[in-house]
Amino acid sequence: MTTTADRPDTAEVGQSRLRKEDRRLLTGRTRWTDNLELPGMVHLALVRSPVANATITGIDTTEAAAAPGVVGVWTGEDLPEQGAMPIAWTVSDNLKVPSLMPLAVGTVKHVGDVVAVVAATSKDAADDAAGMVDVSYDELLVVMDPIAALEADSPLVHPELGTNVCATWGMDSVALGTGGDVEEAIRAAEADPDQVVIRRTLRQNRITPAFVEPRSIVVDPTAEQVTMWSATQVPHILRILLAMTQPVDEHELRVIAPDVGGGFGGKLQATREEALVLLIALRLQLPVKYTETRMESMQSAHHARDQVQRLTLAARKDGTITAFDVDLVADMGAYLGILTAGIPLLGGFMFNGIYKIPAYRFFCTDVFTNKVMTDAYRGAGKPEATFGIERMMDELAVELGLDPIEVRRRNWINPDEFPYATVAGLTYDSGNYDQATDRALELFDYDGLRAEQARRRESNDPVQLGIGVCTFVELSGLAPSRVLGSLNYGSGGWEHASIRMLPTGKVEVAAGTTPHGQGHATAFAQLVSDELGIPFEDITLISGDTATVPRGMDTYGSRSLVVGGMAIVGAARRVVEKARPLAAHLLEADPNDLEYDRGTFTVRGTDTSKTIPEIALAMWLAHDLPDGMEACLDSESTFDPENFSYPTGTHLAAVEVDTETGKVTLRDYVCVQDVGVLVNPMIVDGQVHGGLTQGIGQAMYEEIRYSEDGQLTSGSLADYLVPHAPDVPRYRTDTTVTHATTNTLGVKAVGETGTTAAPPAIVNGVLDALRPLGVTDITMPTTPLKVWSAIQAARSEKGGAS
């Protein structure tokens, strides 16, 4: 049994504890959904549309139904009980919501739409039979490009909606009362010889979260509650959404996210596959399993980004920004997922970045095309915004002949200006951009690299060096419930946790945020250890199960620590408050005479004390409690943040561009982040490394491509290239710490910083290398072919001009 002697004598917070969960996660000896086997379980195979827009003229299931092992075959017509898939964010009054049925009825809208489902006694039998389902399609014209979709004569993805415009949404500094009128400011700048106006159209490539574990679902309808295991980030939200849309009530459904192999937003969804497994299990009253293949994942799991950004930046010739106007066209794909329509809006709050901008406007047009829906992916709207502003800051620097760092410095919020009310209506609590930038410049040897760059330019070196800069802030820690309410978001943003004190002195932490690789079990144990003086090893995490963790808002938007962690700390502090009267009783002292320090109550001025484990045991025995005391030390807490979390930092990329082949090589990458107080520096580094690699992926390699007729041409990991370890440099990271003032731990979010900052840093670097050759823009991913072609085009233009 734990005694005072076992009390950890150094604080856990701040230590790079190895992750408790890694042994089982890294060896795969764990409960991935697809590892689950239940008695009598049947397996599903889905028949998916090979065409992008069509009327279904017939489905013949006779041969499939008669195939060996087949238990049933259903089409959309055969499942009248199916309900339309939910959306969770009604972004605007003019939002148009197309019907998305788990099984298509009558029409298909993208390659991968589900038209039939086969259940069989084995996965093989189901796959075989699915190949026998004969579907006839009457193909319709498709629209694949969001700008083309806005043209008057464009084919309509959903003719019944009468338009391809899904929604429009805007904000501006006049209405917000945060600044001046953008149009006026730009007009004034145009008329002012001391100002410049820069207009650019930038593109966000379509990408996919590419989680390692494909989505997998098992539903067991054979008990008091129907149990669904799903490789999801959001078991709690999923339960509510399925109960609201499918023939099962909330109290009848239990959802479990066992260990989940990555999500990155890609598993922040209520999917038709989840609904279908549920529907078929209810029909058959048997356990049912479905696990997608990678190819199915590519053509059905939501994609991300895919925006056209039309940006106008006005500034004085000394570099100070006078106005910024953002006009977005965002590609929704064919349907709306739970947050699809709102993802671009999140960027609206971030296009101003870390800068003081006196006039700002954001307008977004959400558009339907015949592609897979887009939705959240690590950063969700904010990487798009950061890309926009940070690319523009470099354009401004070039226009004015200023150093890109200097132009940023002249605009960013100074350390003494926090808390700072931004032009987009947020209040940044803390930060010190000078400190992080100065540290990054020093680590990077900025001046040395600039000198090398000059040498290479002068000698016409076939390998040119570029320096890419990104200074960023991120809106994380979703979210203050009131703010969500004001945005018509369909839920609150609070988080819940409970702490269960076990009689042997051990602790179970039940947390409403559910991990899929982040290291919650480790970081949360560190938090609780410091609060309750319980050794790290004696604390375990329970999560991802609506039965054992009844309340939760799950994991996304870098909320697990800054929101979920605060709920845990709140619950731990309640344990202490509940323990205090019993400690006083046992110590025969006045509760007010007790001092508490990490797990031990001491009578002031004496050495008599009781530890939390001792009190937990006494509480459990309940032999000697004060009159009227409830025999329970367990506590819960719900935390609703008052503000978002604003991690910031400075990223510097040194890129080499081989002008003969177009190949871009990342030679060095330095990033200095301010993520507030570090609970576990190793986990912070891991989050940064992973995020950077994904951001580098978007910038240099990854792209979902469709042909003009709507075929997905990057449907496997052989065509959709993600970076491997040797493709990225050994990152050099450091942190500066300004305490968050929005929570008592002083922590800020970290999960999305890499995907946010890396793309503009890299593209800025590539352009910095190539501008002397006449290259002015390049879209992501910066593949060798694209870079080489851009150089060729610039050369022939130069040649033509001379």
- Decide if residue 460 touches another protein (CB under 8 A): no
What stretch of H or E contains 71?
strand 70-75
Determine which residue in the list 39, 726, 799, 800 makes contact with another protein, applying CB under 8 A.
726
User: How many C-beta atoms surround the C-beta of residue 798 within 10 A?
Assistant: 11
User: How many C-beta atoms surround the C-beta of residue 401 within 10 A?
Assistant: 8
- Decide if residue 123 touches another protein (CB under 8 A): yes
In 428-557, alpha helices (H): 433-444, 446-458, 481-486, 520-532
**Stretch 783-802 residues interacting with another protein (CB under 8 A):** 783-785, 788-789
Minimum distance from residue 212 beta carbon to another protein (Å): 16
* Residue count, binding to another protein (CB under 8 A): 29
Determine which residue in the list 724, 730, 800, 801 makes contact with another protein, applying CB under 8 A.
724
Structure tokens at 653: 């990329």
Minimum distance from residue 330 beta carbon to another protein (Å): 23
| Rounded distance between C-alpha atoms, residue 368 and residue 149, angstroms | 7
Question: Kindly report the CA angle at 251 between 570 and 483, in degrees rounded to 5?
Answer: 45
- Decide if residue 318 touches another protein (CB under 8 A): no
Minimum distance from residue 129 beta carbon to another protein (Å): 12
| Rounded distance between C-alpha atoms, residue 465 and residue 655, angstroms | 6
- Decide if residue 145 touches another protein (CB under 8 A): no
Determine which residue in the list 34, 113, 128, 384 makes contact with another protein, applying CB under 8 A.
128
**Stretch 594-653 residues interacting with another protein (CB under 8 A):** none
Question: CB-wise, 642 or 719, nearer to another protein?
Answer: 719
- Decide if residue 714 touches another protein (CB under 8 A): yes
- Decide if residue 205 touches another protein (CB under 8 A): no
Determine which residue in the list 21, 78, 127, 593 makes contact with another protein, applying CB under 8 A.
127
- Decide if residue 723 touches another protein (CB under 8 A): yes
- Decide if residue 124 touches another protein (CB under 8 A): yes
- Decide if residue 744 touches another protein (CB under 8 A): no
Minimum distance from residue 295 beta carbon to another protein (Å): 8
| Rounded distance between C-alpha atoms, residue 20 and residue 8, angstroms | 17
Question: CB-wise, 647 or 662, nearer to another protein?
Answer: 662
Mark 655-674 with x for binding to another protein (rule: CB under 8 A) and - for no binding: -----xxxx-----------
Question: CB-wise, 294 or 574, nearer to another protein?
Answer: 294
Minimum distance from residue 214 beta carbon to another protein (Å): 12
Minimum distance from residue 329 beta carbon to another protein (Å): 23
- Decide if residue 719 touches another protein (CB under 8 A): yes
| Rounded distance between C-alpha atoms, residue 258 and residue 61, angstroms | 34
Minimum distance from residue 120 beta carbon to another protein (Å): 13
Minimum distance from residue 718 beta carbon to another protein (Å): 8
Pick the piece of the chain touching another protein (CB under 8 A) from 153-161, 381-389, 615-623, 698-706: 698-706
| Rounded distance between C-alpha atoms, residue 518 and residue 382, angstroms | 20
User: How many C-beta atoms surround the C-beta of residue 66 within 10 A?
Assistant: 11
- Decide if residue 131 touches another protein (CB under 8 A): yes
Nearest Cα neighbor of 699 from 764, 750, 743 is 764
Minimum distance from residue 714 beta carbon to another protein (Å): 8
What backbone torsions phi and psi does residue 242 show, to the nearest 5 degrees?
-70, -40
Determine which residue in the list 718, 730, 800, 802 makes contact with another protein, applying CB under 8 A.
718
Going 240 to 245 to 246 to 250, the CA torsion angle's sign is positive
| Rounded distance between C-alpha atoms, residue 388 and residue 656, angstroms | 23
Q: Which residues lie closer than 8 Å to 376 by C-beta, 6 or more apart?
A: 265, 266, 268, 269, 302, 304, 339, 343, 556
Pick the piece of the chain touching another protein (CB under 8 A) from 126-134, 355-363, 593-601, 630-638: 126-134
Give Cα separations from 591 to 315, 343, 570, 610, 635 (angstroms): 62, 50, 20, 12, 19
Helices (H) and strands (E) in the chain, counts: 20, 28
Give Cα separations from 749 to 18, 244, 483, 673 (angstroms): 20, 31, 18, 11
Angle between helices 566-587 and 520-532 (to 10 degrees): 30
| Rounded distance between C-alpha atoms, residue 182 and residue 311, angstroms | 12
Indicate the SS3 state at residue 81: coil
Minimum distance from residue 719 beta carbon to another protein (Å): 8
- Decide if residue 69 touches another protein (CB under 8 A): no
- Decide if residue 729 touches another protein (CB under 8 A): no
- Decide if residue 722 touches another protein (CB under 8 A): yes
Mark 250-289 with x for binding to another protein (rule: CB under 8 A) and - for no binding: ----------------------------------------
The site for another protein (CB under 8 A) is made up of: 123-124, 127-128, 131, 293, 295, 660-663, 701, 703, 705, 713-714, 718-719, 721-724, 726-727, 783-785, 788-789
